[in-house]
Chains A and B, each alone.
Chain A
Amino acid sequence: MSSMWSPRKMGYTIPSGPAFRCKMAIKSVQAVFRSLATLEKTVEKCHIELDEQKNRLTFTLHCKHGLMKTHNLSFQDSESLQAVFDKDSYANVFRSHPRLLVDTVVHFSPSLEEVTVSVSDDQMWVKNHVEDEADRSKAMLTELCLASDEFDNFSVQVHNSVTFCLKELRGLLVFAESTGLPISMYFDEPGRPVVLSVTDSVLEGNFVLATLSDDTDQRKNNTKRARTTPPPAPDDFMNDDMDSYLIAMDTSIMPGPSASRPPSPPLVNSTCLNHTAAANHRTRLHSEEEDEEEETVDSCGPPNKKFCSLFFGSVLPPSSQMTTQPLTGQEVLASDSEDDVQ
């Protein structure tokens, strides 16, 4: 990412001659302007002078009572590394208060690397980008939809999707929010950088972020998005096809009480819970139990010796609505405590 700052020309002295460029540690400059409250109370004027001979930038703070604080900060020459972009030629332009974007990124994990932004004529989707094919089946997918009227300006010429670094976006949002200035976002096709711009009367900041270039994978996702842009189905409780999935997956019935056969080794391992429906079906056919009448679910001890029945029965007054079993007739049976603990 690169960022460029240029003071607007009105009302400030700018040395004539070839443009000057240098780079300095931000921490050094921060040290000069450390306490905003103190600055506002005591500093009357700030003088910034360039000493090209000594490679120094001198900040002189003229404070009250004749006090002067001088900071000499050394700089390094820097190659003028400029991102090539022309944001005014970009197809899609959006402008909003930074709060909108801040409220959007808060839904994503702080460790998330990249985010994908897709647009249609009147909506913008922001979702997390999952790098690995392998992760895709296990990863949590988060998607947020913003309507065009949440933006000050929403102009879309091409329905595109771009993926870029979320961490950088978070950084610049912190800055933008502190200034309260509206953020403009320009993007075009995947591969070309996305530019976020913050402007006011004294400064113009452009944050240029690289985007993932278009590959077949991206294009597939893009076409899928185009197909699924209609608004979310009104409560698709009845539309989810879990049933057919489940029928394929699980054809077993409840096994009989475990007391009738030797205790089985722990079965909850990945081979039983893999995602391929066909493989699951095969596994299940091999281990399918015979049709048995389902007897009492808990065979390892007396059914009454569950926490609820013991506790709510004895500690709370009988009139309590939390009692799950009647107090009378509660038979406490001796049981093998070893089984219970397993």
Chain B
Amino acid sequence: MKFRGKIMDVACLNHFTRVITTISKLTKMCVLRLTPDNLFFVLSGKVANGGVSMWCELSQENFFDEFQMEGVSPEDNEICLEVTPENLSRALKTVQNAKAVKLKLTKKHCPCLTIAAELPTLSSVSRIVTHDVPVDVIPRRLWHEFKEPSMPDFDVSIYLPPLKTMKNVVDRMKNLSNFLVMEANLNGEMNLKIDTDLVSVTTHFKDLGNPPWGDEASQDRGPSQIRDPDAMAQTRVDIRKLQQFLMGQQVNPSKAMCNIVHERVVHLILLHEDVSLQYFIPAVA
């Protein structure tokens, strides 16, 4: 099992660092899956993290100038590591001016992901800083827990309003209630609602647009069950989970959308040029 990657472009390094920093804001620990073409940061939904799950996919060739890996075996050509993304983020943030940054799987006092950066200096010799981030290797028999999540049979799919606006709204609502209802329809309307004994607050978003894949999904239902475009699909979620998702975003995505399975789950999807992030927040009673 070997892994070695090298980033030499400063913009790639910056982008990679920002992705990892976003992940670190979403979860304390996650699984890093390495394949010859991709890196995945995976959080599988467990009671411990409130049932929230995450799937972040990066295409390695958009970040790394060199990328070599040998998985556990030729048939299972993958590496699965449990890692604390904050450590990676901290290490990467301080080496943004490096000439080159290498990521390696190493065995020090325990298995580590080592980040070695070559820093520019005035002298003839480059300065090298290494960060050994301890990781846990995940055995193959557990790999099935970290597979790409299937697209849920959503009731409504809608583009999100600007994340910053959403974050402002959710931040204020969090002061009033622990739970928030997200609802949306196929007419590009979305509402964020809270409802307590003392007060109800609803924020309305209009003209958001709906992703055009509704057709394929609605084929499930058959022609007699085409959804009424005004009908709202809603899910009640823990507001902190939604806030955590919004807080972590560092870069404006090129596309941001949300699938709602009525009273089941909110599936948030952010797309950047070379990174996709999916986040599932389950419904609460």
Contacts and interface: CB of A to CB of B under 8 A. Distances in A.
Given A145-B127, A240-B107, A306 B148 contact: yes
Interface in B152-171: 152-153
B260 to A, nearest CB: 12
Contacts of B46: 266, 268
A149 interface: yes
B106 A314 contact: no
B129 A144 contact: yes
A210 interface: no
Contacts of B216: 310, 314, 330, 332
B123 A254 contact: no
A332 B216 CA distance: 8
A275 B139 CA distance: 12
A14 interface: no
B94 A107 contact: yes
B144 A258 contact: yes
Contact of B139 (A243, A284, A307): A284
A246 B265 contact: no
A245 interface: yes
Interface string A66-94: 00000000000000000000000000000
Contacts of A109: 90
Interface string A116-157: 000000000000000000001111111111110110000000
Interface centre among B45, B123, B211, B219, by most chain A C-beta atoms within 10 angstroms, is B123
Interface string A302-342: 00011110110011000000000000001010110100111
B138 A273 contact: yes
Q: Which of B45, B82, B137 has the most CB of A within 10 A?
A: B137
Given A314-B215, A335-B153, A341-B265, A242 B75 contact: no
Interface string B247-285: 000000000000001001100010000001010101000
Contacts of A137: 109-110, 134
Nearest to A243: B1
A241 B107 contact: yes
Contacts of A106: 94
Interface in B85-139: 87, 90-91, 94-95, 104-111, 116, 119, 121-125, 127-134, 136-139
A21 B98 CA distance: 48
Interface residues of A, number: 67
B137 A250 contact: yes
B269 to A, nearest CB: 7
Contact of B128 (A145, A289, A307): A145
Nearest to B90: A109
A300 B129 contact: no
Interface of B: 1-2, 4, 44-46, 55, 57, 68, 72, 75-76, 82, 87, 90-91, 94-95, 104-111, 116, 119, 121-125, 127-134, 136-145, 147-153, 211-213, 215-217, 219-220, 261, 264-265, 269, 276, 278, 280, 282
Given A140-B131, A232-B128, A340-B151, 19 more contacts: A139-B134, A140-B133, A141-B131, A142-B91, A145-B128, A150-B125, A240-B106, A242-B2, A245-B111, A255-B141, A272-B142, A298-B148, A300-B150, A305-B151, A307-B269, A332-B219, A337-B153, A337-B261, A341-B265
30 contacts: A107-B131, A139-B134, A140-B91, A141-B109, A141-B130, A141-B131, A142-B91, A145-B127, A145-B129, A149-B123, A238-B2, A240-B104, A240-B106, A242-B1, A243-B1, A250-B72, A255-B141, A258-B144, A297-B147, A298-B148, A306-B150, A311-B269, A314-B213, A315-B211, A330-B216, A332-B217, A337-B261, A340-B149, A340-B153, A341-B264
